[in-house]
């Protein structure tokens, strides 16, 4: 099943919802216009549709393979990655001074979506390299930047993030990898890192591992973690490759999905010590790692959108082709394509509405990030940064959980064929399952949303967003279409309830987090889900108004936008009611925490 990048939907989200034209007024963004967007996306679509997408199923059938420490990527991947790199796609969002394109996040985001929809396993390699680039640009020395970043941007080398150890998953305080200082200012690293995505492979000539480790004098816990750069091959003064470093891949995992992406166990220092270079200041590793993590978390959220869209496209194609049973309303005497059956339509509408809602939310978040980095006014920058940071755990947590539902519906639409691997729908179901886990599980995202993003400012940013929802509600109610349009009325009704539910949840979090943290954190995933449902619904409410206004320009396209928003309003926004009721009833930790540890 081929993938077709939804260019029109993407451009609608970029132009109408995220308002790219407001971006182009910012310094350095003069070129960020709808026309640029179209040109970039069309170019990206060609590569991803033609080269990367067809390899997706190959990667599942013929995963990356390990032998004697060497990992060979699925046949075709090396060449596809070379084309990706040569096209400049790795450098999209990185500074032109290092060979990048310096495009705003609002334009790199749809490209990242395409990459991951085309090939999630392959897409992980550039995703991790982006993280390594950002860490080096933020905290690396000038020499490190000059020596590594251009090679990473050109795709000659790739990057990794080495956080997890067998005993240290979500809890980085438990990291044990040691870094011993050497006379020349470098370090020797000793330890085992697990779950290292693309930690070893043959698609690039070198790999820059960014590794969390402890120096001998480091304090206990997360305050004693430093960040090190450990290249697979040492790099000579002139930039050429030197000796093989003492970091070796001792195995790769046998996984449920994303099988083409090698998940490595890396052994550092088994043969005398892996040479590493401190990045930034000692004991500040976690801080830098969070910079990488935050970018990566956003990108993983986009992966959720991406795989949902791929699963949706696959399911729609099958539902239009598969003929089975007569219509329930007796409108035909013959069997019809299953897309005509109401429940199949419900499933496809749900898949589509969730995907479009999550996409809109991610793109709008990306534009806040761009304003936060480029707006001349400091207060404006700060406001956008705060909104972006509030949205990141939602984009990561909600869009990935949402992708489980969408890929599962994708299997269901296929009936028995969905369970047969050759059909392809099952691969999305398996691949997606990692998304709510890596780069911080949904609970970790929810804790971040509750703690750093809601409780810390007393719900101030949340209130800002709620006020924007109110403005959209007012716009809907005042709109000329309101009286005659069932979609407008349904959206007004359900978004109002959703808004109230979100407000109530925010109040609950702010008021109870100190005196009853267990109750609040027991409802934290519900809160994140509720925020996702309502904020994505709000984006589709905005899309509804915009589509109604522009309807005459392109009836088919805008009517589908109106219908998608209508479907989201009636089928998805009501979930806010249930979530809010569960959060509210967690008061004193009763109910959800009623079962004690020993009762399980």
Whether 439 is catalytic is: yes
Phi and psi of 551, rounded to 5°? -50, -45
Q: Can residue 574 be called a binding residue for a copy of itself (CB under 8 A)?
A: yes
Separation CA 270–CA 517 (nearest Å): 43
Q: Which stretch binds a copy of itself (CB under 8 A): 69-77, 136-144, 272-280, 435-443?
A: 435-443
272 burial type by CB count under 10 A (0-12 exposed, 13-18 middle, 19+ buried): exposed
Helix (H, G, I), strand (E, B) or coil at 213: strand
Out of 203, 446, 531, 541, the residue judged to bind a copy of itself by CB under 8 A = 446
Helix axes 378-413, 342-374, angle to 10 degrees: 160
Separation CA 431–CA 259 (nearest Å): 8
Instruction: Report whether 83 contacts 44 (CB < 8 A).
Output: no
What sign does the CA torsion over 366, 403, 306, 166 have?
positive
Binding letters toward a copy of itself, positions 245-284, x by CB under 8 A: --------xxxxx---------------------------
Binding letters toward a copy of itself, positions 319-358, x by CB under 8 A: xx--xxx--xxx----x-x-xxxxxxxx-xx--x------
Helix (H, G, I), strand (E, B) or coil at 477: helix
Out of 248, 314, 494, 512, the residue judged to bind a copy of itself by CB under 8 A = 494
Instruction: Report whether 454 contacts 510 (CB < 8 A).
Output: yes
Binding letters toward a copy of itself, positions 286-325, x by CB under 8 A: ------------------------------x--xx--xxx
Cα 439 to Cα 129, 157, 303, distances in angstroms: 14, 22, 12
Q: Can residue 220 be called a binding residue for a copy of itself (CB under 8 A)?
A: no
Out of 490, 505, 506, 541, the residue judged to bind a copy of itself by CB under 8 A = 490
In the bound state with a copy of itself, the residue whose beta carbon lies nearer, of 81 and 438, is 438
Cα 345 to Cα 179, 312, 327, 339, 353, distances in angstroms: 57, 12, 12, 6, 12
Q: Which stretch binds a copy of itself (CB under 8 A): 136-144, 290-298, 404-412, 544-552?
A: 404-412
Residues numbered 508-567 forming contacts with a copy of itself, rule: CB under 8 A: 517-519, 521-525, 556, 559-560, 562-564, 566-567
Among candidate residues 439, 460, 553, 597, the one labeled active-site is 439
In the bound state with a copy of itself, the residue whose beta carbon lies nearer, of 247 and 434, is 434
Q: Which stretch binds a copy of itself (CB under 8 A): 33-41, 109-117, 229-237, 576-584?
A: 576-584
Distance of CA 589 to the CA centre of its chain: 31
Separation CA 74–CA 353 (nearest Å): 34
We find the least distance from the C-beta atom of residue 585 to a copy of itself, in angstroms, to be 4
Residues numbered 154-213 forming contacts with a copy of itself, rule: CB under 8 A: 164, 167, 169-171, 173-174, 195
We find the least distance from the C-beta atom of residue 137 to a copy of itself, in angstroms, to be 28
Q: Can residue 23 be called a binding residue for a copy of itself (CB under 8 A)?
A: no
Out of 126, 301, 418, 459, the residue judged to bind a copy of itself by CB under 8 A = 418
Separation CA 152–CA 95 (nearest Å): 12
Q: How many residues bind a copy of itself (CB under 8 A)?
A: 104
We find the least distance from the C-beta atom of residue 76 to a copy of itself, in angstroms, to be 21
Distance of CA 193 to the CA centre of its chain: 23
Phi and psi of 111, rounded to 5°? -65, -40
What are the structure tokens assigned to 238, written together? Answer: 């002139």
Q: Can residue 218 be called a binding residue for a copy of itself (CB under 8 A)?
A: no
Q: Can residue 483 be called a binding residue for a copy of itself (CB under 8 A)?
A: no
Residues that are catalytic:
439
């Amino acid at each position: 099943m081929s993938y077709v990048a939804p260019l029109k939907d993407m451009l609608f989200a970029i132009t109408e919802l995220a308002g790219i034209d407001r971006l182009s007024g910012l310094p350095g963004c003069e070129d960020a216009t709808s026309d640029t967007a179209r040109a970039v996306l069309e170019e990206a679509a060609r590569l991803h549709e033609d080269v990367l997408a067809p390899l997706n199923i190959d990667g599942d059938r013929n995963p990356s393979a390990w032998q004697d420490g060497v990992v060979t990527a699925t046949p075709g991947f090396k060449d596809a990655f070379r084309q990706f790199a040569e096209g400049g796609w790795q450098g999209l969002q990185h500074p032109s001074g290092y060979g990048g394109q310096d495009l705003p996040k609002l334009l790199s985001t749809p490209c990242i979506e395409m990459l991951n929809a085309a090939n999630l396993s392959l897409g992980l390699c550039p995703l991790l390299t982006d993280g390594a680039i950002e860490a080096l640009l933020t905290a690396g020395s000038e020499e490190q930047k000059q020596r590594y970043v251009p090679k990473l941007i050109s795709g000659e080398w790739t990057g990794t993030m080495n956080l997890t150890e067998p005993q240290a998953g979500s809890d980085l305080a438990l990291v044990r990898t040691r870094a011993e200082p050497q006379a020349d200012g470098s370090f020797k690293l000793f330890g085992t890192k697990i779950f290292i995505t693309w930690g070893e492979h043959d698609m690039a000539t070198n790999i820059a591992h960014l590794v969390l480790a402890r120096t001998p004098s480091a304090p206990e816990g997360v305050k004693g973690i430093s960040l090190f750069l450990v290249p697979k091959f040492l790099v000579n003064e002139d930039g050429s490759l030197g000796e093989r470093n003492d970091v070796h891949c001792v195995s790769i995992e046998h996984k449920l999905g994303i099988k083409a992406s090698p998940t490595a166990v890396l052994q550092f220092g088994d043969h005398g010590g892996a040479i590493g270079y401190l990045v930034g200041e000692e004991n500040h590793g976690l801080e830098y790692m969070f910079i990488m993590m935050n970018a990566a978390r956003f990108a993983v959220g986009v992966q959720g959108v991406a795989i949902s869209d791929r699963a949706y496209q696959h399911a729609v194609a099958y539902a239009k082709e598969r003929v089975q049973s007569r219509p329930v309303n007796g409108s035909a005497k013959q069997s019809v394509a299953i897309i005509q059956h109401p429940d199949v339509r419900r499933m496809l509408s749900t898949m589509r509405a969730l995907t479009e809602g999550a996409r809109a939310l991610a793109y709008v978040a990306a534009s806040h990030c761009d304003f936060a980095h480029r707006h001349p006014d400091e207060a404006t920058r700060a406001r956008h940064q705060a909104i972006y940071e509030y949205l990141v755990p939602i984009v990561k947590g909600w869009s990935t959980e949402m992708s489980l539902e969408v890929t599962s519906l994708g299997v269901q639409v296929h009936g028995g064929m969905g369970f047969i691997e050759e059909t392809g729908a099952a691969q999305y179901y398996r691949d997606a399952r990692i998304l709510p886990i890596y780069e911080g599980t949904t609970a970790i995202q929810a804790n971040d949303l509750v703690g750093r993003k809601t409780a810390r400012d007393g719900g101030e940013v949340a209130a800002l967003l709620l006020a924007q929802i109110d403005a959209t509600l007012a716009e809907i109610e005042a709109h000329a279409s309101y009286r005659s349009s069932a979609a407008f009325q349904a959206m007004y009704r359900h978004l109002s309830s959703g808004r109230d539910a979100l407000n109530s949840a925010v109040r609950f979090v702010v008021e109870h987090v100190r005196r009853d943290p267990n109750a609040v954190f027991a409802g934290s995933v519900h809160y994140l889900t509720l925020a996702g449902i309502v904020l994505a619904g709000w984006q589709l409410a905005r899309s509804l108004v915009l589509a109604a206004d522009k309807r005459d320009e392109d009836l088919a396209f805008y009517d589908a936008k109106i219908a998608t928003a209508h479907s989201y309003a009636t089928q998805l926004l009501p979930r806010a009611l249930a979530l809010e009721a569960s959060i509210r009833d967690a008061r004193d930790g009763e109910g959800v925490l009623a079962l004690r540890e020993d009762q399980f």
